[in-house]
């Protein structure tokens, strides 16, 4: 497909793990990103992974990359109510040479007690 694809919603209980999945388009993308958007705010980078890595861990966050399937996932351990937000997967496709950051539609994470 030509779009960065994500599921739209995820609902989890506080304390459980959350896994947000993404399929991207360009296997030559050097970096892949997860951005977080809280209500009424702009997007902020949450984490990123370099394309020669399979996994990156940063405190409660784990990013897994499957280059063969162009699949990226974000796992949030011990999810808290403060993690409720929209999470966007993004890539910078090298195809075409413009290197324009491209975003998915976002996954709305809802954390309930």
Min CB(78)–other proteins separation in Å: 25
Position 93 contacts other proteins (CB under 8 A): no
Position 8 contacts other proteins (CB under 8 A): yes
Is residue 58 within 8 Å of 47, Cβ to Cβ? yes
Token pair, residue 86, equals 């929209």
* Contact flags string 51-70 toward other proteins, x per CB under 8 A: --------------------
Which is closer to other proteins, CB of 35 or CB of 85? 35
Length of the chain, in residues = 113
Determine which residue in the list 17, 28, 44, 81 makes contact with other proteins, applying CB under 8 A.
44
Position 102 contacts other proteins (CB under 8 A): yes
Which is closer to other proteins, CB of 42 or CB of 113? 42
Determine which residue in the list 7, 28, 30, 66 makes contact with other proteins, applying CB under 8 A.
30
- Least Cα distance to 20 among 59, 74, 88 occurs for 74
Is residue 48 within 8 Å of 34, Cβ to Cβ? yes
Position 95 contacts other proteins (CB under 8 A): no
Cα–Cα separations (whole angstroms), residue 6 to 10, 24, 43, 105, 109? 11, 9, 16, 6, 12
């Amino acid at each position: 497909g030509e779009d960065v694809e994500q599921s739209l919603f995820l609902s989890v209980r506080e304390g459980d793990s959350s896994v947000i999945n993404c399929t991207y388009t360009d296997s030559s993308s050097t970096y892949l990103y997860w951005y977080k958007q809280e209500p009424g705010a702009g997007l902020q980078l949450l984490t990123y992974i370099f394309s020669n890595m399979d996994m990156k861990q940063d405190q409660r966050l784990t990013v897994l990359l499957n280059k063969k399937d162009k699949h990226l996932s974000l796992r949030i351990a011990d999810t808290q109510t403060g993690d409720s937000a929209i999470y966007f997967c993004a890539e910078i496709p090298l195809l075409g040479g413009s290197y324009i950051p491209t975003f998915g539609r976002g996954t709305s994470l809802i954390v309930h007690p």
